[in-house]
């Protein structure tokens, strides 16, 4: 079966064929680094991590670019509030982003460009747009994109210009800045006296800094070319950010920007999108205090990337229980190291699922089929296939016993001390004390398992 991907631009499943045979070029919008990443960011990072993993498993060479926005109104505001430089804030937040992503098993992209390093490329593109009559300088010094002069505007969101409503970062009135049309958006922001000098660049349009949308157009073009294979990001970026990227890139280059547009669904809390602006977000670090990293990843992976995903402790506990069943099967036998034979029936079903728009729910179902077979047969070969297919999704690579014991807030030394005390009580035939220790640990979610070789423990 050939890979098919749902293309937001055409609203259809399409057979995927890269522009360059054997090589996939993919750009995904990354984080604005003014604060810690929340679980909504994890959803996007994990989703496209799975995409690039499957592309590689399918034999493609992948150039994966995920940008970092390190210049932005929110970043400037937060740095001033904190009394630190913009660079100091963003360096700190990028380090935290990497730590969180690494914890979730998210592979680093091929390139991770920072907006501040690409201002010359942005200015060159803005100059091209001005020369083509698609941009103009307003009375306040800002350079704006003239939306109605780009004939294809609205094709990604599927709405006419009159239907489109300005989004979060698009001004909706012409009262300030002298916009010619409320839908026009800023390419270059004129410097303000209140802003720090480190966010002011010299330009043909006067001192200032880039708008948000132009960075992705400039960086994707510089690193992947005028046309590339896949552009991805969260569903909230479809409009206005990605719509504006198309207008900028195609307006400047006259070439189709991306062949396929992919958008992952939201993580919701009480049926509302998790976001910092709504104040209903949980940082990745908050959740890692309660749940192990692989459980969080599995919680995301077992749902289709385009679906809405509801967050709650109940759902995460359910995810941990399901993942534990897979690890329990692997814990029963020593899994062989196997090279996946995609003609093998389970592997073929896994591949068919992933080739249909990265169908992880169906692929995860195959993992449970394999776990059931391992439980029935004790086959080390089947266990090896289970582990290998899990690895394609970034799962099941931990030691089963280590996973069983994983979890924030667990004092392993204290548990081992209690296990030793229980063994001593049993040796002294003080079975009441031994039972008390077992029950006390159980009340803390720690389950003891006795065997001829000794006592082990796992989280309940």
Give the mean pLDDT per block of 10 residues along the chain (460 residues).
94 98 98 95 97 98 98 96 97 98 98 98 98 96 96 92 56 58 94 94 97 97 98 96 98 98 91 67 92 97 96 93 97 94 98 98 98 97 98 96 72 66 68 66 66 66
pLDDT for the residue 174? 44
pLDDT for the residue 171? 43
The 3-state DSSP class for residue 107 equals coil
Which one, of 322, 288, 362, lies nearest residue 54 by Cα? 362
What φ, ψ does residue 345 adopt, rounded to 5°?
-55, -45
Distance separating alpha carbons of residues 210 and 329, to the nearest angstrom:
53
Distance separating alpha carbons of residues 48 and 59, to the nearest angstrom:
17
pTM of the model: 0.88
CA distances from 84 to 80, 129, 246 (A): 6, 35, 35
pLDDT for the residue 438? 75
Distance of CA 35 to the CA centre of its chain: 16
Peptide bond before 240: cis, by omega within 30 degrees of 0? yes
pLDDT for the residue 445? 57
């Amino acid at each position: 079966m050939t890979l098919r991907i749902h293309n937001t631009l055409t609203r259809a499943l399409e057979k995927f064929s890269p522009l360059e045979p054997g090589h996939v070029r993919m750009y995904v919008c990354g984080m604005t680094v003014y604060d810690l990443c929340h679980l909504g960011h994890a959803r996007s990072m994990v989703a496209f991590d799975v995409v690039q993993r499957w592309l590689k498993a399918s034999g493609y060479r992948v150039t994966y670019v995920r940008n970092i926005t390190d210049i932005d109104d929110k970043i400037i505001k937060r740095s001033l509030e904190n009394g630190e430089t913009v660079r100091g804030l963003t360096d700190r937040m990028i380090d935290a982003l990497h730590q969180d992503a690494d914890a979730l098993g998210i592979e680093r992209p091929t390139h991770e460009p920072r907006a501040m390093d690409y201002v010359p490329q942005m200015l060159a593109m803005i100059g091209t747009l001005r020369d083509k009559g698609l941009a103009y300088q307003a009375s306040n010094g800002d350079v704006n994109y003239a939306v109605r002069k780009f004939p294809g505007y609205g094709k990604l969101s599927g709405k006419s210009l009159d239907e489109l409503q300005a989004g979060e970062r698009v001004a909706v009135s012409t009262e300030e800045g002298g916009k010619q049309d409320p839908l026009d958006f800023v390419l270059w922001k004129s410097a303000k006296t209140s802003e720090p000098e480190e966010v002011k660049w010299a330009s043909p349009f006067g001192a200032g800094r880039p708008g948000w949308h132009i960075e992705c157009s400039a960086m994707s073009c510089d690193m992947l070319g005028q046309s590339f294979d896949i552009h991805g990001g969260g569903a909230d970026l479809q409009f206005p950010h990605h719509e504006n990227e198309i207008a900028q890139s195609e307006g400047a280059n006259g070439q189709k920007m991306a062949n396929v547009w992919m958008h992952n669904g939201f993580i919701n809390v009480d049926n509302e999108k998790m976001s910092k602006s709504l104040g209903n977000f949980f940082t990745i670090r908050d959740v890692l205090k309660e749940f192990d990293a692989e459980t969080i990843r599995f919680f995301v992976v077992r749902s289709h990337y385009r679906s809405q995903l509801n967050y709650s402790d109940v759902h995460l506990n359910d995810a941990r229980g399901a993942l534990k069943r897979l690890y329990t099967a692997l814990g029963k036998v020593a899994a062989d190291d196997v090279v996946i034979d995609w003609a093998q029936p389970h592997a073929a079903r896994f591949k068919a699922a992933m080739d249909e728009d990265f169908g992880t729910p169906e692929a995860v179902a195959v993992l449970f089929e394999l776990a059931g077979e391992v439980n029935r047969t004790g086959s080390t070969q089947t266990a090896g296939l289970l582990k290998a297919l899990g690895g394609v999704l970034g799962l099941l690579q931990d030691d089963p016993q280590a996973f069983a014991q994983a979890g924030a807030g667990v004092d392993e030394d204290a548990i081992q001390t209690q296990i030793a005390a229980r063994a001593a009580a049993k040796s002294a035939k003080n079975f009441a004390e031994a039972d008390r220790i077992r029950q006390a640990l159980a009340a803390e979610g720690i389950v003891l398992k006795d065997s001829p070789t000794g006592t082990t423990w796992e989280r309940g």
